[in-house]
Amino acid sequence: MKIYKVSEVVKILHINRNEVYNLINSGKLKAAKIGSLKISETWLNEFIENSIVAA
């Protein structure tokens, strides 16, 4: 399983850093504090799937 930094998620989702933090703070995107915030591949895929269904 891959673990992403916020900067990597910015590039994957093509959104800015503040938007990633907003998604995390709103609970839409799960993250864990491991030194800095990290997002697992599973959590990122869940977010993407939920976003596609909601669209």
Q: Give the pLDDT score at 36.
A: 96
Q: Give the pLDDT score at 1.
A: 87
Q: Output the pTM of the full model.
A: 0.89
For residue 54, pLDDT beyond 80: no
6-13 and 41-54 helices cross at what angle (nearest 10)?
30
Beta strands in the chain (DSSP E): 3-5, 32-34, 36-40
Q: Give the pLDDT score at 52.
A: 86
Domain ranges of the chain: 3-54
pLDDT in tens, 2-45: 999 999 999 999 999 999 999 999 999 999 999 999 999 999 99
Contacts 24+ apart (CB under 8 A), 21-30: 23/47
